[in-house]
Every structure is written in structure tokens, then in C-alpha cells.
Structure 1
């Protein structure tokens, strides 16, 4: 009886998708058939940049906001910034450190986040910047004792006691944030702790920025966690637009793992970011759901039910028959450059599926006059493929390494300088 029920639910899912999408045009890729990124919902093929810009791109944005990431608010009307720390001789004199509190509703007792920023002292003009969220608090990015200790809720790891950071967390993630390498290349770095925006546990969206937007909750397309993190990345850029030391038109957005999902979505929704870097973002980031292996929708929606909006749950167990996939999200970044990177041993993220996610966006980049991703097959380990879409897979597991950053900085030099 249980087998019959399982089969019934499976075929009911197929019927639901077919009913909602009576004629899904297919895009062939490495033996797979994906929903075609360049065919509109009404079946019309997109053949011009104008069609993409004015019709297909808005159509896809509307779909993903409704069915996966959820709706997000715009820039808060009353948001304010307070620079509470400036040190022109940080990191042994190599950098200027700034720390800034962002008050989302302009109130000192309201939701807020702290930006940690380092500027390269050797550059005497406005500098490009790389922004990204961190996992364990700003103090985890470097052992600089002057970095404000985060007081937001944290997972019970790496020196965290009673869900709060202690001095033992200073510099624990410094290996993922090689500040001196980035600064030496002439880039500023700006980062925020993810938990300042959303604490990343299923709390009914009571302790993050969602509390400012009750109208976006209790609905199928609710303002969920990944979208909130992406929204927070845009608020970092809002501050940088006010900082005279930064060239705010040359700001790349970076993210690793679940924060890579947020970086991809931030790049898709905020066109002010001229460059996007996704490091092992996996399912809900760069990985194709249609491709076997790695995290699937059921795991995302059960282990991390707060990450995506409620409507996304109806696609559980339908990964291989979806009327959409992540190549469409990556295509929303086009024609801006995007770097997608994987690790050979990172089976959860499924490195080959991340490559094909990038390759699936290639037709849009080429339609818009760029070289897209200049590879026809998954490249060997440690062999970056660089076009307007770039990709590499390195040895090792789920992490961010100096090798990764070296490739990202070369890519940024090519497109941000």
C-alpha cells in the first residue's frame, strides 16, 4: 500500500507540473534536457537582447521570487549608517579599518548589522571592493583585537558559548578571508555576519530583518532567509555608495556555501553588482537540480525549511522534472561576469552539476554578445576556464582556499579594473 501511495504522489507531481506548464521547451545539455532559458512561458523563443531584457528576464525574476526565493523588500526608507571605528594603521599599517553599524529602520534599538571593512593603504584613489557575508562573526575574519565582537545568535561551534561568540572565535575563519592577499591587489573588503541579518535557524522569522516586513510573511512567497541575506548584501552596497574611499560601481559580491546561494541571488536581483563570485554554493546556488547527486530539494526544505519560501516545498521529490533550474538564476546575472567554483571532494554541492549550471546560462551570455563559458565539457581539476562566465574545480573539500581567491582576484582584475 505504501508503494502505491508513493507512486501516486510521484505521478500527481508530474501531473501538477505538466498542468502548470503544458509545453516546456527543452534545452539539451550533456545528455540532459533542461527547461530552456531562452523560451518564454508562452512558448515564444527569445532571439534578441531586447526580448531578454524586457520580457524573459522579468518573467524569470517574477517566477523565482514567487516559487523559490520569496519576495524581498526594497531599500529601507529610514536606514542610517554610523561609522564607529576608523584606524588608518590596521594590519601593520597596510590597511585602514572601518566598522559601520547599519540601522535598518534608523533606530538604535531596531534591527541592525555591523560592517567590517578594510581599505588598502597603498592605493590613493577610490578602490574597487569585494563584499560578502561571513559565517561566524566579523571577529572570526581576522585576529585583529579591535574588531567588534558580534553579539548576535550563533551556532554552537568554534568557541561559541550559549549561542554567543567568545574571544576564542577571533580569527577562526581567517583562512577563508586572506585579507592581505586581497588588499595587496588593491581591493577593499567589506563583510557582515550572516546572523545580523537572519540567525539561520527555523524561528518563524521572528529574530531577523523579516520582523520589519510582516506583510511579507504568512504567505507562500514569504521573505525567507537566503533572500534576506541577499537583501543584506545590497544594504552593504548602499553604505559603500556613501563612502568616498570606494568606487561603488566596481563592487563584486562573494559568497561561500549557503552564503554563495545568497550571493548568486543578490547578483540576480541587484544589477548594481558588476561581478558575482559563487564558491561551492550547491543546491539553490549554482548546482542543477536536474543533475543527479548532491543535495536535493527535499533536504533543503526539511533540514533548512527557512532558507526558501513556502511555495518551494511543493517541488520536493521532483528535482529531475522541474520546469525551472539554477541555470536560469545564473542567467539573470548576464551579461555581468560570474565566477562559479567547485571542490572535487564536495559531493554535497556536486561540482560537476555546478559546472553544468554555469554552462546552462551560456546561451543567454552569448545572446547578449559575450563569450559565456568557453568550455564544452567539465574541465580537469585546477584548470580554470575563463570567459564572461568562469569556472574551476580544485582538489579538496568544502572550503575557501588561497587558490580560490587567487583565481577570483585575477577575474576581478579582468572585469573590475
Structure 2
């Protein structure tokens, strides 16, 4: 066992040294240069000119244009239990009817509010992969009825409980390990989640036929159609719409979290919706935090062929052009500035390209510094399992593509730092 630990440590050390040697000055597009070629010189120019240019660029060329808040959307709280989880929390479940009709597209939102905290509490919002009932074995959670993957090749989640793409009672709590509900509640945070398939399908064969997409046919059959990643981000904003109506939640202190493909959506939600006061991206990889310009890890061709529903039609023209893009993901992270953002990687998650994720955060740091904040407090990749936290946070941990207790420990420290001081409150 001791030899195995030494081998693992040696591998990790060698890998980090390799990453450091690979690091180089990348020919990245400059987020502080306007389309017409002049460099912005004031924070006002960023907020009124350059930020709008970048949002339009990414909407046109990558994520697609999304609709606004539905005018007929309604919320219905269909469950309230003030003694949930042994009295530790108040559980609410809210049906979001996107077009206001009970027979129309519906998203169920699960909300746990800590009972030990008085007054409005901060919240962490994130979409889940396997239904709200999967994040905790609580028998009061409504079983998701949307289409569900029957297998995904994930070594951390047993989905044998899914039958004919439908969830069953046996699926309760299958993904609880990645959602430390007790830890969040003990720390004073509400947890808010919804199932990704309620918003938009992740099955290519069902592309744009379920969830919110059928409500907006005018956004389809065009090159800048909003894809599934953008739809998930749009859904996160609709959850925020509800949270602004709930007096138990401090809507000025809401963080958005996502892992893997849902981490891509969390970044875009943070970029497009400034109501999210903090953003957490866990191993979001290509189309998330990593830089395409490195030409390492998952590339645009794979995104557009294996997951053709994720991004808009225009993005396909950049296949095999990763290192030549007129934009890159550091610009998406920059769109969150000066709000805090945390990017995290795992050493064995080669597809996500940990060095590319770190470089994405580092390249965005110039915008944070331009706006008068610290940005990322290092220019070199930190050691394994060592978190660095400024206005941008980052760590690379042991293990593979997953969400672990170590990840959450860093996210809670980071969120405490920015949410639990008077200075960070955006009142």
C-alpha cells in the first residue's frame, strides 16, 4: 500500500511538472480589445461596450441566442415540509410551468432551507443529472418523470434502477454522494436543484423536442439557435426568477454550481445573468473553462459530433479550428467579472485538460484586475490538492472526473469568503 501511494505521488508530481513545461504564452484573443480594434481604458467601457460585444459574439457563434423570461410562466409550491431531514431543513418543491399551463413543459425545483438560520439565507443552485430524488434518499421528493439515461458509463453512479428510461423508487439517493446536503445546511446555505431533462433533453435522438425548446420554434432551424447548454443556463435563470420571490432566500447571495456538462451551463448562466453572485465550475472542460487554443483534450469536432445538440449550428464551422478561434473560454469567464468564480480540475481528467482550465482562469484574471479586483492569486498552477482563492479560485485535486468532498470543502470556503462578509453583500 505504501509503495502504491509513493507511485501515485510520483505520477502526480511528474504530471504537474509536465503541465508546467507545457505552459506557454498562448496567442489568445484579448477580451479588453473592442471589435473595432481599440483597447478599452475604463470600467464603464467594459460594462457598456465590450461586455455586450462578447455576449453577442458567443450567442452568435457558440451557445446560440436564448429567449427571455417567459411572460406567462407561473410557480406552484406543491410541497412544504418544515421538519424535513429529521428537522434540520424545510423542504419545498416548486413546479415551474414555463408557459403557465399545467399540461405544458414543467420543471420541478427542489429547495432545502436550513432551519437553524434566522432570516433570508444564501443559496447554492445547481442542476442534477439523475433527477431531484437522486440527490438525497428523502422519501418526500417527487420522482422525476422526464426521460432518463439508462446508462452513462459513470463508475460513480449505479443507474440500474432506471427502467425503460424512467426512474423508479430504487433511484432515490443514487447520486447523494456528490450532493452533501447536510454539509451545506450546516454551513447555513440553502440547496436548490432541478433535473436537467425537465429543461432540455440531453439525448441527441430527442434533440429540441422536449422541455423548453418546443415553446420557441422561432429559435430553431437557424444557425444561431440556442442549444442545450444555453437552455440549461436559461433554466437556471428561471430558478433565480423563483428565488427572488421566496422570502426565505437572500437573492443577493445566490451561487450557481455545475459539474461536467452542467458546469458548462453554470458558466454561461453566470456570464449571461448577473443576478448570480458567484459561479462554481467543476471540471467543465471543453466549452466550459478550458482553452480551445491549447489544442489539448476534448475538441470542437467531438463536441459538435458526439453532442450535436449542445451548441448552436454556427459552432460547427469551427471544427478542426480550435487553435485559431477568434474567441475562447477565458472570455466567458471574464463575462462574470468582477463577481467571484471558482474553476476546479482533477489530475486524471485528461479530457477536461486541467492545464487548459487553469489557463482559462488565469487569462480571465486580467479583466478582474482591470476592474479593480484581485483575480487569480497565482500565475503558476498550484500543487495538487492545494486551493488558491482570490476573486477567482482554482484547485486541481487527486482522482478523476467526479465531484468529491474535497471539491465541496473548497467551494464552501470560497463561498463563505465572498458571501459572509458585509463587503461582499451586493445590497
* TM class by smaller structure: over 0.9
Residue equivalent to 2:169: 167
CA contact (8 A) 1:279 1:342 kept: yes
Whole-Å separation in 2 of the counterparts to 1:280 and 1:168: 28
Match of 1:244 in 2: 247
Match of 1:187 in 2: 189
Per the alignment, in what secondary structure is the counterpart of residue 366 of structure 2? Answer: helix
Q: Is the 8 A contact 1:119 1:189 kept in 2?
A: yes
Give the secondary-structure state (helix, strand or coil) at the position aligned to 1:131. strand
The structural deviation recorded for 1:292 is 3.0
Question: TM-score by structure 1 length?
Answer: 0.92
Q: In 2, distance between residues paired with 1:30 and 1:376?
A: 12
- Once the two structures are TM-superposed, the CA of residue 51 in structure 1 deviates from its matched residue by 1.3
Match of 1:150 in 2: 144
User: Could you tell me how far 1:119 is from its partner in structure 2?
Assistant: 0.4
Counterparts of 1:376-391 in structure 2 under 5 Å? 376-391=379-394
1:119 is aligned to 2:104: no
Q: Aligned Cα RMSD in Å?
A: 0.9
Name the structure 2 match of 1:96.
Answer: 90
Measure, in 1, the Cα distance between the counterparts of 2:364 and 2:47. Answer: 15
Q: Distance in 2 between matches of 1:197 and 1:403?
A: 29
Which runs of no fewer than 5 residues in structure 1 stay unpaired?
1-28
Q: Is the 8 A contact 2:132 2:195 kept in 1?
A: yes
Q: Which residue of 1 aligns with 2:200?
A: 198
Q: C-alpha distance in 1, partners of 2:249/2:207?
A: 37
Superposition map of 1:311-350 within 5 A: 311-350=314-353
Give the secondary-structure state (helix, strand or coil) at the position aligned to 1:160: coil
Alignment length, in residue pairs?
A: 389
Question: Which residue number in structure 2 is paired with residue 48 of structure 1?
Answer: 42
Residues 70-90 of structure 1: per-residue CA shift (max 9 Å, x gap):
001111101111111111111
Larger mean Cα displacement after TM superposition, 368-377 or 42-51: 42-51
Shift of 1:294: 1.1
Asked whether the equivalents of residues 201 and 207 of structure 2 are also in contact (C-alpha less than 8 Å), the reply is no
Offset of 1:31 from its aligned partner? 2.3
The answer to whether the 8 A contact 1:78-1:106 is kept is yes
Aligned residue number for residue 297 of structure 1:
300
* Secondary structure, aligned partner of 1:305: coil
Query: Which residue pairs with 1:25 in the alignment?
Result: none
Note the residue ranges of structure 2 that are not aligned, 5 or more in a row: 1-22, 152-158, 421-427
TM-score (norm 2): 0.90
Are the equivalent residues in 2 in contact too, given 1:34–1:325 (CA < 8 A)? Answer: yes
Cα displacement (A) at 1:204: 3.6
Q: Which whole-Å deviations, capped at 9, do the CAs of 1:22-42 have from their partners, x for residues lacking one?
A: xxxxxxx83221111111111
1:216-295 superposed matches below 5 A: 216-295=219-298
